[in-house]
C-alpha cells in the first residue's frame, strides 16, 4: 500500500489496454502498434501516427487535426478528411496526392490548389477567388474558369488554349495572346491595348481599333491594313512602309505626308 499526502489528487485512466511497443495513450484511449500517439481522441493504429482532437489515424506518419481520419502515409488533414500527401483547409475532401483546398471545395488530382472557391481538377491547377480550373498549370484570378495549359485569366472570363492571358476583359483564344482592358485577341502573338480585337500575328492596337495583318500599328484610333504600316493622328495607311503625319492617308511604299496632304 502507498500512503499519499493529504489533499493529493490522483487521475486514473483505466479505460483500455495499450498493446505493442512504445505506445502512448492520452485522455483514455488505446494506442496499438509502435511509436503511436493519440491526443484528445481515439485509437491510432500503425507506426508513427498521431491524432489531434479527433479520430483514428491509419497508416504511417499520418496526422489528423480537428476531428477526421487520415489514411495512408505522410498525410495531413486540417478540419477535414483523409488521403495521401493531401491537405484540406476549412472544407471538404482532398483526393489524390499533394492536393490542397482552402476555404472551399474538394481538390482532385495531383498538386492542385483551390483558394476561396471551388474544385480544381487536373494537375498543377490553381483557382483564386473563383471557380474550377481544368487542365494543367492553369490559373484563374477573380472569378472564372481557366481551361487548357499554362493559361491565366485576370479579372475576367475564360481563356482557352495555351499560354493565353486576359487582363480586365474577355476571352483570349489561341496561343501567346494578350488582351488589355476588355477585348479578345485572336491568333498568335497578338496584343490589344485599350481597345478592340487584334487578328493575325504580331499585331498591335493602341487606343483604338483593330489591326489586321502582320506587324501593324495604329496610333490614336484608326486601323492599319497591310504589313509594317503606321498611322499617326489620322487615318488608315494602305500598303507597306507607309507613314502619315498630322493628316491623311499615304498610299504606296515609303511615303510621307507632312501637315495634311499626301505625298
Who wins on pLDDT, 67 or 96?
96
- Return the pLDDT at 11: 35
Average pLDDT, the chain: 57
Say how far apart CA 5 and CA 3 lie, in whole Å: 7
Q: Which range among 18-22, 147-151, 208-212 shows the weakest confidence by mean pLDDT?
A: 18-22
Q: How many helices (H) and strands (E) does the chain have?
A: 0, 15
pLDDT at position 26, please?
47
**Cell 489591326 sits on residue:** 211
SS3 content of the chain, % helix, strand, coil (to 5): 0, 25, 75
- The answer on pLDDT for 80 being more than 60 is no
Each residue of 183-223: pLDDT tens digit? 666 666 666 666 666 666 666 666 666 666 666 666 665 66
Instruction: Tell me: pLDDT of 66 over 50.
Output: no
Amino acid at each position: 500500500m502507498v500512503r499519499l499526502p493529504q489533499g493529493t489528487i490522483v487521475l486514473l485512466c483505466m479505460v483500455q489496454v495499450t498493446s505493442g511497443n512504445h505506445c502512448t495513450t492520452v485522455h483514455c484511449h488505446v494506442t496499438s502498434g509502435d511509436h503511436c500517439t493519440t491526443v484528445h481522441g481515439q485509437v491510432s493504429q500503425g507506426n508513427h501516427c498521431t491524432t489531434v482532437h479527433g479520430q483514428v489515424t491509419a497508416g504511417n506518419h499520418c496526422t489528423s487535426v480537428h476531428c477526421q481520419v487520415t489514411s495512408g502515409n505522410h498525410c495531413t488533414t486540417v478540419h477535414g478528411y483523409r488521403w495521401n500527401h493531401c491537405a484540406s483547409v476549412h472544407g471538404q475532401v482532398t483526393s489524390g496526392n499533394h492536393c490542397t483546398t482552402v476555404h472551399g471545395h474538394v481538390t482532385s488530382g495531383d498538386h492542385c490548389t483551390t483558394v476561396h472557391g471551388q474544385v480544381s481538377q487536373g494537375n498543377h491547377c490553381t483557382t483564386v477567388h473563383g471557380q474550377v480550373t481544368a487542365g494543367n498549370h492553369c490559373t484563374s484570378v477573380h472569378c472564372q474558369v481557366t481551361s487548357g495549359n499554362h493559361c491565366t485569366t485576370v479579372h475576367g472570363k475564360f481563356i482557352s488554349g495555351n499560354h493565353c492571358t486576359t487582363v480586365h476583359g474577355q476571352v483570349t483564344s489561341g496561343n501567346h495572346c494578350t488582351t488589355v482592358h476588355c477585348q479578345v485577341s485572336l491568333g498568335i502573338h497578338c496584343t490589344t491595348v485599350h481597345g478592340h480585337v487584334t487578328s493575325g500575328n504580331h499585331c498591335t492596337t493602341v487606343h483604338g481599333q483593330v489591326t489586321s495583318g502582320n506587324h501593324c500599328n495604329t496610333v490614336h484610333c484608326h486601323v492599319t491594313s497591310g504589313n509594317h504600316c503606321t498611322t499617326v493622328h489620322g487615318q488608315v495607311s494602305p500598303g507597306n512602309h507607309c507613314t502619315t503625319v498630322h493628316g491623311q492617308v499615304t498610299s504606296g511604299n515609303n511615303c510621307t505626308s507632312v501637315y495634311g496632304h499626301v505625298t
